[in-house]
Amino acid sequence: MQTARIAGFFVYVAAFFLPACRQVATPGALPPEVYRGWFRAWITLMNTFSRDVWHSKDFLAILSGWINPLILFYLVFLIRPRLVWTRRIMGGAIVAFMAATWIYFALVPMVPLIGHVLWIAGILMMLAGGAFGHEPLEFNAPGPAPQ
């Protein structure tokens, strides 16, 4: 699973430099602006501090912006094998925030592009080890296994 996590990390990082989303095209209007992943990440994190955004449907976009810090914490927590449950809870939050992103896309409406797809794929590759139970659950203190 380490290979999948490493490959997922590189896919995740590459996605920030690709077109992530755009508004739906309207007939007779100017072509919609295309937003790169790094720009969307920056905007959603900066809007975290706006009270008005939290009282609108745009709070769903803020949740999507918090996926990136959660992923970084998740990767740091991989250093400690005993933090399995912490990583699983964070993984669940990340997946819930992904769903919030797609709900936001439907409400605004916005069209996900290749950067968004690769961003999601990279994240899922990094989370795969924890999701499929390849990490041992440690309920007791470390020690020799019973015979």
Whether 147 maps to a domain, the answer reads no
What gap in Å lies between CA 131 and CA 52, rounded to an integer? 35
What gap in Å lies between CA 80 and CA 142, rounded to an integer? 13
Residues of the domain holding 106: 2-23+34-131
Following CA atoms 64, 65, 66, 71 in sequence, which dihedral angle do they give, to the nearest 10 degrees?
A: 90
Whether 67 maps to a domain, the answer reads yes
What is the model's pLDDT at position 106? 95
Is the dihedral angle over the CA atoms 18, 62, 42, 34 positive or is it negative? Answer: positive
User: Do 11 and 123 meet the contact criterion of CB atoms below 8 Å apart?
Assistant: no
Q: Nearest CA to 122 among 62, 52, 84, 75? A: 75
Whether 141 maps to a domain, the answer reads no
Task: State residue 56 phi and psi, 5-degree precision.
Answer: -140, 180
Q: What is the pTM of this model?
A: 0.82
| Spatial CB neighbours of 41, under 8 Å, sequence gap ≥ 6 | 16, 65, 68
Query: With 0-12 CB in 10 A as exposed, 13-18 as middle and 19+ as buried, what is 20?
Result: buried
What is the model's pLDDT at position 2? 83
Report the number of distinct structural domains present in the chain.
1
Q: What is the pLDDT along the chain (147 residues), one digit of tens a residue?
A: 688 899 999 999 999 999 999 998 888 888 899 999 999 999 988 888 888 988 898 999 999 999 999 999 999 999 988 898 999 999 999 999 999 999 999 999 999 999 999 999 999 999 987 666 555 544 444 555 555
What is the model's pLDDT at position 134? 52
Whether 146 maps to a domain, the answer reads no
